[in-house]
Amino acid sequence: MESILTINNLTKKFGQLTAVNNLSFTIKKGNVYGILGPNGSGKSTTLGIVLNVVNKTSGNFHWFDGNTTTHNALKKVGAIIERPNFYPYMSGYENLKLVCKIKGVNYSKIDEKLEIVGLLKRKHSKFKTFSLGMKQRLAIASALLNDPEILILDEPTNGLDPQGIHQIREIIKQIAAQGTTILLASHLLDEVEKVCSHVVVLRNGVKLYAGSVDEMISSHGFFELKCNNQSELITLLENHNAFGNIKVEGDLVTAFLTEPIKSDTFNKLLFEKGIILTHLVQRKESLEEQFLKLTDNLNKQNQ
């Protein structure tokens, strides 16, 4: 598959702090990628580097086949990072006209893209009169002007009200459905889970995971158990091969599977051993739990 962005051993240091540490990953055409990570994990810095606004300390990256300069490649990229940045004294239309001039795009695209984000009626209003949701939508229209090969969004729903968040997500889904590659940085896991097919998980500038969302969630899942004889249950779980990690929270026992086991088989086994359950749920981890597990593991290693 055609690759859009390749990053090799990228490192960025701000004085003592290492914001991005030896990061490598590849973005392939047609997928929707999420960069996940808590605040300050190096998401924005990584995007800043590939977008030509932050200087890398070492390593390298290249856009497309590597034969175009970064600033020329960026003309085929649409990106919004952090909050929408426009000239407050210009109207929405004039702001987009300026972007057209930079990217070398025909002005006829402006109305088309304003239509997509639903701002056509307000196109002659000054940017400073826009609400935050409208500003963010204008930013998306601006990023779409050149019909980009890849759309990069950094925290696109940050600070928006629920309605605004919903509007932005709908627009993103619509764009993804048209086959545009999307790179979405976010700390909102449900957001990534809903729209992304692939994820890169970052923490303190280090890559913890890169691959498809399905693979990341494809563990054997876990059981949530409650019974009247907790200590006996825990001893049994600890001696059973199929269980790895066991977590106790109050009267709820969570047992993580290391190999597949069916709930009826498991229930039967417990009953034969004289343990009667009051609560049994078998579940797969959500992206959030998987993410916390990944970041937790690292915490333990560090200790």
Give contact residues for another protein (rule: CB under 8 A): 14, 48, 51-55, 69, 71-72, 74-75, 77, 79, 81-83, 85-90, 94, 97-99, 101-104, 142
Please state the closest distance from residue 85 (CB atom) to another protein, in A: 4
Listed residue (87, 90, 89, 93) closest to 123, CA to CA: 93
In which residue are the tokens 């990690």 written? Answer: 245
> Strand 198-203 and strand 32-36: pairing?
parallel
Residue nearer to another protein on the CB measure, 100 or 196: 100
Q: Smallest Cα–Cα separation from 192: which of 148, 163, 154?
A: 154
Nearer to another protein, 153 or 213 (CB): 153
User: Which pairing describes strands 150-154 and 77-80: parallel, antiparallel, or unpaired?
Assistant: parallel
CB-count exposure of residue 17 (10 Å: 0-12, 13-18, 19+): exposed
Minimum distance, C-beta of residue 79 to another protein, in the bound complex (Å): 5
Least distance in angstroms from the C-beta of 139 to another protein? 9
Shortest distance, CB of residue 44 to another protein, whole angstroms? Answer: 11
Contacts of 113 (CB under 8 A, 6+ apart): 96, 141, 142, 144, 145
Kindly tell me which of 106 and 163 has the beta carbon lying closer to another protein: 106
Q: Between residues 54 and 217, which has the closer beta carbon with respect to another protein?
A: 54
| Cα–Cα distance, 214 to 97 (Å, whole number) | 41
* Positive/negative CA dihedral, 98, 82, 291, 61: positive
Structure tokens at 282: 């078998």
CB of 72 to another protein, least distance (A): 7
**Tokens coding 54:** 């932050």
Q: In the block, which residue shows the tokens 């086949």?
A: 65
Residue 181: strand pairing partners: 150
Nearer to another protein, 90 or 280 (CB): 90
* Shortest Cβ 80–another protein spacing (Å): 8
**Residue with smaller CB distance to another protein, 82 or 215:** 82
Residue 46: C-alpha distances to residues 53, 79, 196, 244, 245 (Å):
10, 13, 18, 35, 34
Per this entry, what is the length of the chain? 303
Residue with smaller CB distance to another protein, 139 or 208: 139
Shortest Å distance, C-beta 253 to another protein: 49
